[in-house]
Every structure is written in C-alpha cells, then in structure tokens.
Structure 1
C-alpha cells in the first residue's frame, strides 16, 4: 500500500520542490508576469515569427554541481536546454555558453563536456562568453530553437490525460539526476528528442513540460498552475526503474522526461510512439478543474499543493484571462 499522505508531506518539504518558489521573486523583481513577452512560465520563451515561433531558453547551474563534476555539468548544460526546446514542440538551432573559471585549465573539462554533448546531439555551439579570472567555476548555457506547432504549459484542460514519458535506461549520476544519455548512441539521442516536435506537428499534444528539478511532482504542479487547472497524480501508475523508491522518483530529474497533457483519444497513439523507441510512456494522472494537485492511491487522496491558495511560480494562466 502506498502512503500517499506521507509522500505528499515529504515532497512538499523537500528542497527540490521548494527551490522553485524563488522563481516568483525573480520574475517580480524583473517586472515579469504571464502577460509579458515570451510568456514566462514555459520551458522556453515563445517569440512569434512568420511561419511559426522562435524559442529561447537558458540554464544557470548551481556552482557546487559544476565544481563537483565539471565535465558532466558541461554535458548537462547542453542536454537540459535541448529538452526544454523539445518539450515545447521545437527543434534546437544553436547554443551559446557562458563560462567563468579561475583559469583555462580549470575550465577545460567543463568546456569539453559542452563540446561532447553538442556533438552527440548534433546542435552547434556557436559562441558565448568566457571569463578566466573568476574566483570559481560557473556555467550558464543558452539555446535557440524553432517550432511550427508550439506546445505550452498554459493549455492543459480538465479531462485531459496526463502522460509521463521517461527513459529508464540510465542511472543516478549525482543528487537526484537520473541520466540515460551518457552511454546512448548519438542517433538515438537525436531521434528521441525529435519525437516531441513530430507529435506536436501531428496535433497530438495539448500541453506539456520537460520534467526538471522538482521531478514529476514539481513539474506537474508548474503545469497545473500555468494552465489554471488541477491535476490528480495516480501513484499506483508511476513505476520507477529498478529498485528506485517512489518518493525519490517523484522528485528526480531525468535526462529524458516529459509530462504531456493530451486528449483522451490521443493517449494511446502518443504512448505507442514513445514505446516504439523503447521509452516507457503511459497515463499517470488526469487534469481536473480547480487548483489542487492531489496524489492518489486506491481510494486515498492526499493534497500535495493548492496553487490558488499558495502560488508556486506565481505565473498562472488566470493572470492572463483575468487581465
């Protein structure tokens, strides 16, 4: 029997979940809300253009993470940005990096990781900024992409099925980072990411997000708040790989993981497309009216978060419709 109440309480207090609360303060300091250009709250900023949209995203990395494993941090700088573009139904065009280091030698493994990942995924690094007189090693990476049929965090509807597509062919590298990319063939990495824009252009994805820091639980909460809906996560349907405990899996950051809100009639087709690439994908919940994200197991329901009572990102779709 899964103790949904205990899992909800543990997740609500976990640093991986609570770290996202800082986003609201940052957007407020910059004068941004859900009505701002680029529509903050998504995995990438949406910039309209003729015939589609440009996508712009970036990631800054925790210094302790960068310093603990510079090569892997460089790899992740590419990997996570490409996932953000794919989550929005886009294809990445190019990357730029921003590297700070005490000297060139300290930066070398970090820059090698950037280069190795860019080669693996087939997306060029076209420049950036370096500072070799910084007190410590730090990293940020920016990506540009394009989408013909953008998938946003703002379009989930009550009645939608929530699918989780997560590559289980990996291992934990550090913290709660579950990486399934390092030993994968390059053509597989590229084909797996290309599946997202293919599905979007086929009209099969209503809304979605890359599973980021905060894991399935935190990402579902961000999706719910942006769309102004509730979500019931069915714990009995979420199957971690191997012997990974469920509570850890719910907060894990997978190298390939997406939550997708789809119309009920499209769920089987979307799941089959991922299964054809050996990526587990299936229903893990449903989108509901309201603002509560609940964890369910059998007949038990436990409130994880109510974003109307306690905003998470502070970027609800209701800010747009009520304006």
Structure 2
C-alpha cells in the first residue's frame, strides 16, 4: 500500500509541475485565448476543427490540469486515510485542493470575462502554492519509512526568521515576475541589469518601472539567500539537510537570476523563459520545505554551533 501511495504522490507532484510550466507556456506564447472566450469547451466544441498552435497549447493545458486534478483528488483521499495522523497531512491536502481549484477558476474567468494584468499575475503564484503543498505532502509520505526524522534538526531563531522572511518575500518576487510578463514589459528595458536607454527623469514609464522593480526584487532575494547560505555553511555543517539545502537554494537563485538576464538578452527565447519559471518553482518548493522543517524541528534559542 505504501509503495503504491508513493508512486501516486510522485506522479501527482510531477503532474502539478507540468500544470505549473504549462500555465507559464500559455502565458509566454500568448495562448490564453487559444480556445476563444469559452471554457471548458474550445471554440464551442470538445475537440475544435480549426486548430492552431495556440489552440493546442491552451487545450493541452486544460486536459493536463483536469487529469492532474483527478490524481490530486485520489492522492488526497488515500493520504487522508493513510497518514492522516501526521499533523500536516490534512492541512496540505486542503491547501493543495483549494489552490488548484482557485487556479482553475481564475484561468476560466480570464478566458470568459477577461481580467486585469494585475489579477492575472496572481495565477502563477496560486499554482505555485498548490504545487508546493503537493510536494510537501509527497515528502511526508516518503517519511513513512522513518529514514529521516525532522525532529532531530536543530534550528536557531535567527535562521528560523530569515527562512520565514525570505520564503514570504519570494512570493513577491514571483508576483513581480508574473506581472512583467502579463504587462508585456519583458523587453521594455532591453539592457541588463540596468535600464540604460531610459532617462530616469524624463521617460521612465510604468512598464520600465515594473521591469526594474522585478530586477531589484530578484537582486535582493539573491543577496538574502547568499547571506543565509553563508550562515548555514558556517554553522550547520553537521546538519546535512540544512547545510546542503541552502547550498542548493543558493544555486537555484543564482540560476534564476542568470536565466532572467538571458530572457532579456535572448529576446524572450521560449526555452530560456521556461527555464526561468522552472528554477523559481524549484526554489519556492525548497523554501517551503524549510518551513516544514522549522515547524517540526527543535528550536534552539541560542547559537546553533553549541549543539552542532
């Protein structure tokens, strides 16, 4: 039973990841109206007759989202019955289902009635929360074998609050990045890292402000994670999950910044843009896992080096 549950959890997590990247693909290829202003039908049909690449992308995203929704429903029922005794299980099940439904409703509303760019920018972030919840649920399921006990992890207050802070802040970074794409501000500053061609006193318009605001937010999260990673490397050498976890986080945020620069410098290359979405998704999932560890670990009030 446990083995089947693990496979179901992994499959659902991968499916949620495909939903996440599929939504990014829809946005980056401007395929949101690939099925016209109709949902769940596509141009009034289940399978439309006149198929364009935009139609294929939008319809595929809907089909994958529906299939993953069924997988998530099955996983939620089995996990609730099997590991419902774990305190986080029911919360994560409800969270993943709620935000998956919210993502679908916002997507449907955008197709049928249209939405402002500032509302549409929420779509990726909502999908990200659902993905992170499913990822954490999967990790809980894999703890059935008790090969890792999070209660053995000791985290001091300083690292705890930095972790919580940078995780919450990462959501702001995600939103500003989505806003850049939805407002078509990606190439309003074709230079990187600064908007060299813009006169900061005369011609700095809203779109350049959105673009540069995202770059500033991304720069700050890079510096913040660099600082936390240095802290982890210095004080958590004997706690491999924390030590290597923050090294991976630093690697992911570095790749995120580099891919963001490459998006601009390559003129919105689709593969680079999807890589950009991939790295932030992995980073957010990892940060959420750190939060899970904090909630289950022993909190050391003093310096962690005293107990390492």
Question: Is TM (by shorter chain) over 0.5?
Answer: no
Compare the two structures and name the one with the higher strand fraction.
1
TM-score normalised over the length of structure 1: 0.27
